[in-house]
Structure 1
Amino acid sequence: MYNCFDVAKQFLKLAKEDGEVLEPMKLLKLTYIAHGWYLGFYDKPLIKNSVQAWKYGPVIPELYHVTKRFGHGNVDIEIVDLYSENKLSNQDRTFLKTIWNAYKGFTGLQLSTKTHMDNTPWKEAYDPKVYHKVITNEIIKEHYKKLIDERR
């Protein structure tokens, strides 16, 4: 299991390899989506950080607070690297490349919209009366397992 910055750093590397850059929203959503698919496929979390249901979608608070300084600009990999802890296994780098290839064509806003749809973990967990409610890994895993089953 990694911290969110290990995963975010890999997405920043993949974007750079493709001649692209990532703004905070897209990086946050990619990290969350990767965590969800990982839970769905492997029955274990990709990241050790909690995911919370904020007004505008699922958020990994630690990653948000470090990257929000970039606004709508490009996230600097050097800043994310300051918080990175572990090297990803080859298998997990391959997994993240698969996620990147599936979602790189979407904007941060489009990814955000996907995470706000009906029957998503955010929709299930969000409560405007509860400030930053945790979306459990179990809820996220159930959602992504359903998506996997629908594709079979």
Structure 2
Amino acid sequence: MLSSTNFSQALLYRAHHKGINLCNLKLQKLAYYCQGYYLATHNEPLFHDAINAWQHGPVVPTLYHSFCGYGDRHIPVPAQDHFSSLAQSAKEMIDFIIDKYGRAGAWTLRNNTHNESPWLAHYDRDSGRIDKAEITHQELKSFFLNELAEIQDKQLAKLLDQYQEASTKPPVAMPDTISSSKDFLQWIRNR
């Protein structure tokens, strides 16, 4: 598991090399997505520090305080490459998150997190207040496992659509015996 400092330096470095500059708000949201998806896929955190529910969404307080002096300006890119020394699983996660969310604006990401259950669980709609408590690993894992399932469902549907469009045979209903993606892929291969 990485320290939040090493993680943030690697994320900043990699984002810059993909043509993306990060301000503190955007860094916070990308850190949240990295941690959530990593917990869902590896059943352990990517970095040490807690993520808390704050007014503008999920925040890693230690990272926030490290970079708050930049305000809404871009954080300078580290001179040293902290990315290449990471474990392969960490590099893959950072790349996945940058590719998925990196082009979105900081406020778009902030608004997205306000519609997601890890933050909403700490928000009181009646008072409009946020409790600033830690978003637990279990809250993150549960939410992001559902997100991964949706991604897989969409990819599976896209694969089926592509197959049916390319097929010269008339469309065939999928058998009721298919209960997993493995069964589905085997059925496609056998057709």
TM-score, structure 1 normalization: 0.86
Q: Where do residues 1-152 of structure 1 align in structure 2 (5 Å cutoff)?
A: 1-78=1-78, 87-117=85-115, 119-127=116-124, 128=129, 130=131, 132-152=132-152
Distance 1:129 1:90 in 2: 36
CA displacement at 1:56 relative to structure 2: 1.9
Distance 1:6 1:126 in 2: 30
Distance 2:108 2:24 in 1: 13
Question: Secondary structure in 2 aligned to 1:93?
Answer: helix
Question: Secondary structure in 1 aligned to 2:53?
Answer: strand
Unaligned runs of 5+ in 1: none
TM-score, structure 2 normalization: 0.69
Runs of 4+ that moved beyond 2 A: 76-79, 125-130
Q: In structure 1, what is the equivalent of residue 157 of structure 2? A: none
Distance 1:139 1:151 in 2: 19
Q: In structure 1, what is the equivalent of residue 172 of structure 2? A: none
Distance 2:89 2:52 in 1: 27
Distance 1:126 1:36, change over 3 A: same
Distance 1:133 1:15, change over 3 A: same
Distance 1:89 1:120, change over 3 A: same
Unaligned runs of 5+ in 2: 153-191
Contact preservation (8 Å) 1:126, 1:133: no
Distance 2:93 2:78 in 1: 23
Aligned residues: 145
Distance 1:24 1:149 in 2: 30
